[in-house]
Structure 1
Amino acid sequence: MQRTRRTPLNHTPSRPAGDTDPTPEPADPQSAGSPSSPPPEPASSSDEGITLTTGGAAAVVASTDSGASGGGAAAPGVGDETASSSSSSSSEADVAGGGEAGKSWKWTVIFAVVGLVVLGLDQLTKALALAHLTPGEPVNVIGSLLKFNLIRNSGAAFSLGSGYTPYISAIQIAVAIGVVYLSRKLGSVGWAIAFGFLFGGAVGNIIDRIFRDPSPFHGHVVDFLQTPHWAIFNVADMAVTSAAILLVLQTLRGIRLDGTREIRK
């Protein structure tokens, strides 16, 4: 009995090793793309970093350019900080300028108040002396230490320089004008008080020389204060002497007229 070979229904015939499957054509040519264009390569992480960095720099440059041209807002915080710093500096300069002006007026006011007080006290005491004292009849106030003794002085302070009344008057007027002119530069309380004493004393005696007998610019100054071994004087003479002492002290201390201190080696 002869046997026959049966071929199974699911058997797939084998192919030689060298044969390859033909490339199947895509079902949809539009979705597959052109066979000549290479597929896009995925971007690496370094490329992404470079892209981001370049984009950020471009954004900063664009923002700066727009802020400089006025068409857009500058980088946040930079313009605000600059404007704030500028306004703060201006405010500090204004405050500093206002502080210096305030101090200048302060010393000028001190000078004026001291000068007017000295002038008023000098004229008041002279009027009282003329009303209640008699020339040649001294009155003891504190024993022999202080006396009221009325005289009329044609000379300078402490009865010095008799006979030169017009020249002394001119010198005192020049001194008063010079003190007023320099008072604008006062920067120290010591100088302000000294100038006030000098101005009040000079003007007090000038008033006597211009308005008292015997004639204008030849008038005699009223003196009435007497101490042992000293010439008879008045309040104006005391003020001028005190001013001279204060000016010497300020100079020895190295304090200038404007209040700055001289640096000594």
Structure 2
Amino acid sequence: MATRAQAIRVRGLEKSYKTLHVLRGVDFEVERGSIFALLGSNGAGKTTVVRILSTLLKADAGTASVDGLDVATRPASVREVISLTGQFAAVDEILSGRENLVLVARLRHLKQPGKIADDLLERFSLADAGARKVSTYSGGMRRRLDIAMSLIGNPPVIFLDEPTTGLDPEARIEVWAAVKELAARGTTVLLTTQYLDEAEQLADRIAILHKGRIIVNGTLAELKRLLPPAEAEYVEKQPSLEDIFLAIVGADK
């Protein structure tokens, strides 16, 4: 069972589909109020880990607990303390942003759903667009709304499964800011991504999942120490394409 300092604890997690061994004994822990990035290429098993932790899938072997609750023996209790945001925004495009939030608050039988919606719209910089239909939202706005919806009820643990897949550079930065804000308020975030820069920007700790196993787990500083020390030399730094894009687009606003 996880200690009070641990929001998530995984030991010896295994999952196979017939002869395909997706997880081969995965171990990691996530501290409360931190951002933990599970980094890996497509097919590495990241989504499988998230599906097991969110009680959508049963492991073949091993144990996992979320907020001190065993996901295998207490799935209903686990679902009360988590929220899951998948790879694609689960928002209703016919409704406005505010109506999406009010709907979820009512489904959770919460008091003052309108106030909850308004607070979240303000928190995620969507207040000005709250009355607009979601069909008019940009990709970054939809993803921010999706994350806002997942926070209704104040779950202590949130899973973000590749939250910036398919987003443009500006939208990715918008989502990054939203994720950082979650952790700043004490929410534990487990983030899966295949983008190295995303893990570097967001995570307190990074675990690399490769061929069904965690091959390295540590802070960014700890991972950098795995490589030989860098040699100092003069290099003329050129702006990246993302720097150029943001400079041009930002200047045009």
TM range (shorter): under 0.3
* Structure with larger Rg: 1
Please identify which structure carries the higher helix content: 1
Please identify which structure carries the higher strand content: 2
Query: Scaled by the length of structure 1, what TM-score is found?
Result: 0.23
Greater RCO (Cα-Cα under 8 Å, separation 6 or more): 2
